[in-house]
Structure 1
Amino acid sequence: MQHRPGRRRGIWAIALLVFGVALVAGPMAYMFTRFVPVKQFSENMLPTLPVGSLLVMEKDHGGVRHGDVVTYDPAAWGYDGPFVGRVVALGGDHIAYATGDRTLTLNGKPLDEPYVRDGDAGAGGVAFAVSVPPGRMFVLGDNRGNSQDSRFHPETHRGTLPLAAVTGIDSGMHEESPLMVVLGLLLSAGVCLLPLSLGLGIASLVARRRRPAEVHGPVWGATRVDVP
């Protein structure tokens, strides 16, 4: 059976198109369903997060832990979010700061916070002592001298927020992380396959126009004349 000209190229074009779309759509769907990008516009997390930093926040997280950098909804404080902050205490903890101290205390012990700007966890000079209720958290910024956080809202559950207010946890992903590298390679491969499939498709159409299929066997309607 004689195949039409360009048929093989057409099959390859369709196969590469499907594969390319899958390579592009797969990583994008994975990123959009699991992560959300957040731009840091405030100075409250200096020096950890410079102004203008792009964070990749994990939406479907397994739970909030001590020290997590999170995005959260500050609606309980009367603000529009999201805000970015660090969870320093969770339900059942006692978090405190006394004026003049260089560190906070968590459950009576000095809290090591190497991420705090200039190493001064007491910058801002706001004294507090809070026992965090179950299911809630106490959130501070790393730039303690310039952060609108739990310290300034003692009228609302002693400044604590429900864990349900967390909208994302910093995944720690960046351009050089292994997962981002793999997703980037898959996406790039898909983008490269799309124009290749288009080129093969065009070549297939051109071949069909230029090379009509050969016909074997009798031609219907033809008249044979025998010359004596």
Structure 2
Amino acid sequence: MERRPGRKRGTWAIVLLVLGFVLIGGPVAVMLSRFTATHQASDNMLPTLVMGDLIVLRKDPSEVRRGDVVTYDPGTWGLEGPFLGRVVAVGGDRVSYAMGDEALTLNGQPLDEPYVKDAPGDGGMAFDVAVPRGRVFILGDNRGNSADSRFHSDGDGGTLPVSAVTGVEEDQEGPEQLALGAAMLAGVCLLPVGIGLGIAALVVRRRKPVPTGPVWGAVHIDRP
């Protein structure tokens, strides 16, 4: 049986197109289900984040750690969020600051905060908080312009429940992000190749009609 011209190209075109859509659609679905993005809307996280910066966050984080940049719901403070801030202490920690100190104290040791704008004590607010289990103490990196845990000490020392954290900043150069990006890039590269093979297959089929052979069982009759 004679193969149709361009059949092999057509098959490869379909394979590459399907694979390309899977490699693009899969990572997109993962990112939409597990990650979200927001823009920084204030100066409270200078110099780490400036107004207008895009931040990618992991939704519904299973763990919140010291130093994490997070979005959080300040509803228990009577404010409407979400806000952006940095987790300075977690459940079981004791965090404090006395006016004139050069650094915050975490569990009896000076806290190194290279991300802070100007001085760690900017804002003129002293505090000494033992963070209850299941709660976090959140500050802005721009201590002189941040409505954070320091100013809401009426309940649990200004701490918030971990459940108030709605997202944790994701390292955009982490292994998972790089793998998803590589898969999407591969899919984007495969699509034009598949489209090109599909067009080539159609062109070949139009230029080379399928030859027809004798029909089995037919009777040949000579004309007189």
Q: TM-score, normalised by structure 2?
A: 0.88
The one-character-per-residue Cα deviations of 1:100-155 (angstroms, maximum 9, x if unpaired) are: 2222222333222222112x111010122222211111100011000010111122
- Separation (CA, whole Å) in 1 of partners of 2:172 and 2:106: 28
| Cα distance, 1:10 vs structure 2 | 1.5
- Give the match for residue 150 of structure 1: 149
The one-character-per-residue Cα deviations of 1:25-44 (angstroms, maximum 9, x if unpaired) are: 12222322332222212111
What fraction of aligned residue pairs are identical, expressed as a percent?
A: 57
| Cα distance, 1:219 vs structure 2 | 8.1
- Separation (CA, whole Å) in 2 of partners of 1:122 and 1:153: 16
1:204 equivalent to 2:196? Answer: no
Q: 2:181 aligns with which of 140, 165, 184?
A: 184
- Separation (CA, whole Å) in 1 of partners of 2:114 and 2:208: 73
Q: Secondary structure at the match of 1:3?
A: coil
| Cα distance, 1:186 vs structure 2 | 2.7
Paired residues for 1:44-59 under 5 Å: 44-59=44-59
| Cα distance, 1:211 vs structure 2 | 2.9
Q: Secondary structure at the match of 2:88?
A: strand
- Give the match for residue 75 of structure 1: 75
Q: Please, which runs of 5 or more residues in structure 1 have no aligned partner?
A: none
| Conservation of the 8 A alpha-carbon contact between 1:100 and 1:125 | no
- Separation (CA, whole Å) in 2 of partners of 1:153 and 1:55: 26
Q: 1:216 aligns with which of 188, 213, 218?
A: 213
- Separation (CA, whole Å) in 2 of partners of 1:163 and 1:105: 21
- Give the match for residue 141 of structure 1: 140
The one-character-per-residue Cα deviations of 1:71-101 (angstroms, maximum 9, x if unpaired) are: 1111212223221111111222222222222
Paired residues for 1:60-209 under 5 Å: 61-118=61-118, 120-174=119-173, 179-209=176-206
More moved, 191-200 vs 6-15: 191-200
- Give the match for residue 6 of structure 1: 6
| Cα distance, 1:180 vs structure 2 | 4.2
The one-character-per-residue Cα deviations of 1:164-216 (angstroms, maximum 9, x if unpaired) are: 11112222224xx5554443333222123223322322332343344332111
Letter in 2 for 1:154: S
The one-character-per-residue Cα deviations of 1:4-58 (angstroms, maximum 9, x if unpaired) are: 2222221111111111111211222232233222221211111122222222222
Letter in 1 for 2:38: V
- Separation (CA, whole Å) in 1 of partners of 2:80 and 2:12: 52
- Give the match for residue 40 of structure 1: 40
Moved over 4 A (4+): 177-182, 219-223
- Separation (CA, whole Å) in 1 of partners of 2:182 and 2:135: 40
Q: TM-score, normalised by structure 1?
A: 0.86
- Give the match for residue 30 of structure 2: 30
Q: Please, which runs of 5 or more residues in structure 2 have no aligned partner?
A: none
